[in-house]
Homo-oligomer: A and B are copies of this chain.
């Protein structure tokens, strides 16, 4: 085996297909239901919100879907992303395990989000959309969609939760460098926003309100559509470039198949993206491995939620989805891993979890940041607090290998860097993280 820390693919080795897991699922997905009638939604029901191409992808049964050339061209600005062998972390842990991580933090916005943002912008453009709207919390998803719209010459309007807009200006500015219009939500652009502002002029907003504003804006403005950064089938589809690359990279250094594959989960897109190309081999019986989804203890959809039909948003503008959910009115505590503060879980991952094909773990915020520091001081990359959930699990599994002496191969997704989250690290180092109630 080559003694490399980083395993690269050349531009030419980059996969040119996404993997659609739908035809390989152990049983069919339950259909989304209309929020009004609770009948299965028709494709037409979704057309005011999404363009026809993406609606088709959402329900496609085609196993491999060609990545359009224009999407590949933009991917090549930062992809293929590197796979790292975490040699210094292994040494620090004195583990016989071999730890690998796929690093999505070198993308233009510092996370995996552009993999689907670029694809969604492309298909919208193709279908005649001239303007996309979305919501964003801390700004990871909003900045990804802003970039994507720039490259396809579309307008982009982002409703950013007001408290983040005020307290975390950096990602707001990043969206603006890409030319996006960013509004603090609640805004007076929409009825939904105005209603809130009438009742609570000082409202700091929420992701639920911002989603309502973004959808209302899209459906009431000509040539506008709405774009979502996780949860849906087509979003996870676009993220499978991560896992397809990782497979090639492990082969390239002659590594055996992973024994454990780990990712943090909020809506589920980064984990699904890494996992599905491997899960194909597990479902077919060709390979076996453990797949671990890692949640915050304070927002554990898998471990504390129910597998049932629920709404994707607070206001009930989305269809009902069959998923693990804490309830669409669940308000998670204000933990620093903002990207994991979602009440539901992607229907695709929910089905796999329900079928026993993946397992779940949850950890407390302080343990996550402790693990992040161990990683950072070994590997010299500052992780996003979200991604640090995957690190914590990988470290725990590697420690078990130390006990048993097993040379397991552990692969996790480092879905984003934490350089724009240094405010959270400041609290962790200099003030101490507050206690979070985990009984909610």
On A, residues with C-beta under 8 Å from B are 2-6, 8, 10-11, 76-78, 88, 106, 108, 110, 147, 150, 169-171, 173-174, 176-179, 373, 376-377, 379-382, 419-420, 422-423, 425-426, 429-430
Contact = CB atoms under 8 A, between A and B. Distances in A.
Nearest to A3: B11
A420 B419 contact: yes
Contacts of A110: 419
B5 A425 contact: no
11 contacts: A8-B8, A77-B379, A106-B106, A108-B381, A169-B422, A173-B426, A173-B429, A176-B429, A177-B373, A177-B429, A179-B377
A352 B425 CA distance: 44
The 8 closest A-B pairs by CB, nearest first: A108-B380, A170-B422, A173-B426, A173-B422, A77-B380, A4-B11, A176-B429, A8-B8
A306 to B, nearest CB: 39
Copy number in the complex reads 2
Nearest to A172: B426
A78 B5 CA distance: 9
Contact of A177 (B108, B169, B376): B376
A178 B380 CA distance: 9
B380 A425 contact: no
A147 B380 CA distance: 8
Contacts of A8: 8, 10
Nearest to A88: B77
A186 B273 CA distance: 50
Contact of A4 (B6, B10, B419): B10
A164 to B, nearest CB: 14
A420 B171 CA distance: 10
Contacts of A108: 380-382
Contacts of A419: 110, 170, 174, 419-420
A89 to B, nearest CB: 11
Given A4-B11, A178-B377, A419-B419, 4 more contacts: A4-B10, A78-B380, A108-B380, A173-B422
Contact of A5 (B77, B88, B106, B377): B77
Contacts of A3: 11
A271 to B, nearest CB: 24
Contacts of A77: 5, 88, 379-380
